[in-house]
């Protein structure tokens, strides 16, 4: 078991650091180009490995905060990646079984995360914030799946940005909570959200309207 945990730890560290350095590269290269797609895929698989190994370690060591953070990061990574398949949602494309199943599972997990943060003593602000963000994300996605007619222009891109940047925020938050001991709780969990959410909003406002205009010309 000790050997397994050691290997799991080093795999988690390798995948986590890969994701940390690759994400900024995917953000600065030309969007939609070969480099963006390549580094985006590398980031996705890095977060998949980092999140999975975090869940294993947190489960075996009884670390509830990190368990929920790992699930949060995993869900948002697949949400951002899956959104690339939703470009024609409503234009003859309908949500598949995977879309419904993953979103409903996320809804249950994030509702539990929010409840854990609210009823835990002492009050856990970090879990409340993560749970509320995840719950809003899944509820918005369910409304989109039930929406009659086509999605708003660029909605898939908005979801793509939210998912990948949100996954990155969760990963940095987990790293900060476990490694940056000089930052007090709950700021050690929340500072990545405070710093990176404005970037997420800026990216959406910069690229989603541009895509809508290009689609309109087409």
Q: Residue 199's pLDDT is what? A: 92
Q: Residue 97's pLDDT is what? A: 94
State the average pLDDT for the chain: 88
**pTM for the structure as a whole:** 0.88
Neighbour count for residue 128 (Cβ, 10 Å): 18
Share of the chain above pLDDT 70, in %: 96
Q: Indicate if the pLDDT at residue 22 is higher than 90.
A: yes
Whether cis (ω within 30° of 0) applies to the bond prior to 186 is yes
Is 93 in contact with 153 (CB distance < 8 Å)? no
Q: Residue 214's pLDDT is what? A: 54
Is 102 in contact with 78 (CB distance < 8 Å)? yes
Per residue in 148-183, pLDDT tens?
788 888 889 999 999 999 999 988 988 898 889 899
Q: What is the CA radius of gyration of the chain?
A: 18
Q: Where residue 216 falls among pLDDT bands split at 50, 70, 90? A: very low
Q: Residue 212's pLDDT is what? A: 55
Using DSSP, state whether 52 is helix, strand or coil. helix
Q: Indicate if the pLDDT at residue 91 is higher than 90.
A: no
Per residue in 112-149, pLDDT tens?
889 888 987 778 888 888 899 889 989 999 998 988 78
* CA–CA gap between residue 180 and residue 86 (Å, rounded): 38
Q: Residue 217's pLDDT is what? A: 46
């Amino acid at each position: 078991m000790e050997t397994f945990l050691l290997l799991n730890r080093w795999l988690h560290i390798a995948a986590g650091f890969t994701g940390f350095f690759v994400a900024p590269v995917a953000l600065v290269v030309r969007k939609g180009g070969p480099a963006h797609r390549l580094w985006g895929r590398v980031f996705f698989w890095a977060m998949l490995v980092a999140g999975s190994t975090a869940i294993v370690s947190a489960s075996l060591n009884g670390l509830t905060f990190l368990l929920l953070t790992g699930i949060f990061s995993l869900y948002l990574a697949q949400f951002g990646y899956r959104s690339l398949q939703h470009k024609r949602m409503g234009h003859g494309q309908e949500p598949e079984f995977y879309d419904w199943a993953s979103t409903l599972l996320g809804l249950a997990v994030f509702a539990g995360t929010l409840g854990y943060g609210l009823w835990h003593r002492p009050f856990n602000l970090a879990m409340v914030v993560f749970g509320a963000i995840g719950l809003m994300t899944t509820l918005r996605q369910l409304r989109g799946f039930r929406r009659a007619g086509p999605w708003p222009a660029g909605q898939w891109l908005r979801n793509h940005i939210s998912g990948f940047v949100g996954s990155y925020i969760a990963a940095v938050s987990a790293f900060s909570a476990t490694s940056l001991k000089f930052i007090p709780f709950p700021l050690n969990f929340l500072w990545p959200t405070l710093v990176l959410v404005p970037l997420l909003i800026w990216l959406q406002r910069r690229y989603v309207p541009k895509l809508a205009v290009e689609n309109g010309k087409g």
